[in-house]
């Protein structure tokens, strides 16, 4: 069976996901495209999805009987309305992170899915599908004793002009927020942010770099450096200190070269390349579940918890050094 997928939001990642569904993955075709920028949808149709119909309004795409499942890849602030429309239509929906830009918005999605009674939503936390993180989790679960500390870094070479301080949390750190819950099988109880000396490559509305300190319910301490104008590359680091050993996220595979008296390895510069394989695996997983009329992988609950945790980190940014508590409501049985 081939499921018919509609994409709402045809910018960088919407285009890339449409390409992978049509050209790389099996079991699905892109039949609908929608974007507030019509030219963007038209360009994606002509470049990667020639059979797709273009819809002027996202909700019309979601309601169409030529669309069985939906990908929401619009800007974060325009996720909630489309995910709620997909749930109302009873259609499986893959939503890029963040599930919603506020915890209240994510909660509305959880409530709607719980009322529907069956999972329909997968959140695009692709690191859970990354081969390196999966290897790391296996080692953390079985080889190094209880995890005690995590040292991590999320570095982008640069970010667009409109990227401002809270986006370091909602847009960037949110990947760590989710993946460490999964890696450590734990939840956060507090967050703190401290700002070191600012890079000269940043601007007035973006404090960069920042250090986020998280504490989990089991007492694990996590420090994450978020540095989004680091200049040199796209670099994701994670080291777990356990009571019997230390485990580090593998570096992406890269040829080691000796040339002109140098020994070196290239560092990637684009997030699209760093997690290219995991985007393929997460969307193939989405297709496999959507064929059965449901969803698997990261849940709306994970998206909601990430939103609550992110909000606490943003509150911590606003009061540097202050420890902001994080408390979670009870988890509905649907997400047990």
Site string for ligand ISE, 316-335 (x = CB under 6 A): --------------------
Q: Does 130 bind ligand NAI (CB under 6 A)?
A: no
Which residues, at least 6 apart from 67, have a Cβ–Cβ distance to it below 8 Å?
Answer: 4, 5, 6, 31, 32, 61, 91
Q: Is 45 in the site for ligand NAI (CB under 6 A)?
A: no
35 forms part of the interface with ligand NAI (CB under 6 A):
yes
119 touches, from ligand ISE, ligand NAI, none (C-beta below 5 to 8 Å by class): none
309 contacts ligand ISE (rule: CB under 6 A): no
Strands 93-95 and 121-123: parallel
Q: How far apart are CA 304 and CA 307, in angstroms?
A: 5
Q: 101 touches which of ligand ISE, ligand NAI, none (CB within 5 to 8 A by kind)?
A: none
Name the residue nearer to ligand NAI (CB basis): 95 or 289: 95
What's the 3-state SS for 263-309? EECCCCCCHHHHCHHHHHHHHHHHHHHHHCCCCCCCCHHHHHHHHHH
Q: Are strands 3-8 and 69-72 parallel, antiparallel or unpaired?
A: parallel
Check residue 40 for interaction with ligand NAI (CB under 6 A).
yes
> Measured between alpha carbons, how far is 298 from 179 in angstroms, rounded to an integer?
10
Q: Does 335 bind ligand NAI (CB under 6 A)?
A: no
Site for ligand NAI in 275-304 (CB under 6 A): 275
Nearest residue relative to ligand ISE (C-beta): 172
Query: What beta strand segments (E) does the chain contain?
Result: 3-8, 28-34, 53-55, 69-72, 93-95, 121-123, 147-155, 188-194, 210-216, 221-227, 235-242, 246-248, 257-259, 262-264, 324-325
Work out the end-to-end distance of the chain between its first and last CA atoms, rounded to an integer number of angstroms: 30
The residue whose Cβ lies closest to ligand NAI is 11
Quick one: which of 5, 6, 7, 9 contacts ligand NAI (CB under 6 A)?
A: 9
Burial per residue of 212-235, b for 16 or more beta-carbon CB atoms within 10 angstroms, e otherwise: bbbbbeeebebebbbbbbbeeebb
Q: How many residues bind ligand NAI (CB under 6 A)?
A: 25
User: In whole angstroms, how close is the CB of 133 to ligand NAI at the nearest point?
Assistant: 13
53 half-sphere exposure, CB direction, 13 A CA radius: 14
Among 54, 56, 62, CA closest to 87: 62
Question: Please, what is the minimum distance in Å from the beta carbon of residue 105 to ligand NAI?
Answer: 13
Residue 274 interacts with ligand NAI (CB under 6 A): yes or no: no
Nearest CA to 231 out of 266, 199, 194, 264 is that of 199
88 binds, among ligand NAI, ligand ISE, none (CB under 5 to 8 A by kind): none
Q: 172 touches which of ligand NAI, ligand ISE, none (CB within 5 to 8 A by kind)?
A: ligand ISE
User: How many residues lie near ligand ISE (CB under 6 A)?
Assistant: 6
Site membership for ligand ISE, residue 229 (CB under 6 A): no
Q: State yes or no: residue 58 binds ligand NAI (CB under 6 A).
A: yes
Residue 36 binds which of ligand ISE, ligand NAI, none (CB < 5-8 A, kind-dependent): ligand NAI
Pattern 155-184, ligand ISE, x by CB under 6 A: -x--------------xx--x---------
Q: Which residues bind ligand NAI (CB under 6 A)?
A: 8-14, 34-37, 40, 58, 73-76, 78, 96-97, 124, 126, 171, 271, 275
Q: Which residues bind ligand ISE (CB under 6 A)?
A: 156, 171-172, 175, 228, 271
């Amino acid at each position: 069976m081939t499921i018919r997928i509609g994409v709402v939001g045809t910018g960088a990642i919407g285009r890339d996901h449409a390409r992978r569904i049509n050209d790389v993955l099996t079991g699905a075709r892109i039949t609908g495209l929608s974007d507030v920028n019509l030219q963007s949808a038209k360009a994606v149709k002509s470049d990667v999805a020639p059979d797709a119909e273009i819809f002027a309004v996202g909700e019309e795409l979601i309601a169409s009987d030529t669309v069985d499942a939906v990908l929401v890849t619009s800007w974060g602030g325009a996720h909630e309305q489309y995910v709620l429309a997909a749930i109302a239509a009873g259609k499986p929906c893959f939503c890029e992170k963040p599930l919603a830009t506020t915890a209240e918005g994510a909660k509305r999605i959880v409530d709607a899915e719980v009322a529907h009674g069956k999972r329909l939503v997968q959140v695009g936390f692709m690191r859970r599908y990354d081969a390196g993180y999966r290897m790391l989790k296996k080692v953390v679960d079985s080889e190094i004793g209880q995890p005690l500390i995590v040292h991590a870094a999320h570095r982008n070479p640069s970010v667009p002009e409109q990227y401002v301080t809270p986006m370091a949390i909602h847009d960037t750190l949110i990947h760590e927020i989710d993946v460490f819950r999964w890696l450590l099988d734990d939840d956060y109880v507090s967050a703190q942010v401290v700002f070191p000396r600012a890079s000269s490559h940043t601007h007035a509305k973006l404090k960069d770099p920042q250090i986020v300190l998280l504490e989990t319910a089991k007492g694990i301490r996590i420090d994450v450096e978020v540095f989004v104008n680091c200049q040199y590359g796209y670099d994701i680091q994670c080291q777990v200190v356990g009571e019997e050993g230390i485990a580090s996220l593998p570096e992406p595979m890269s040829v080691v070269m000796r040339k002109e008296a140098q020994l070196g390895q290239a560092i990637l510069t684009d997030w699209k390349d760093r997690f290219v394989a995991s985007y393929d695996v997460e969307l193939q997983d989405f297709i496999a579940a959507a064929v059965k009329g449901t969803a698997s992988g990261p849940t709306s609950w994970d998206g909601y918890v990430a939103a609550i945790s992110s909000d606490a980190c943003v509150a911590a940014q606003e009061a540097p050094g202050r420890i902001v508590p994080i408390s979670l409501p009870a988890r509905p049985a649907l997400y047990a």
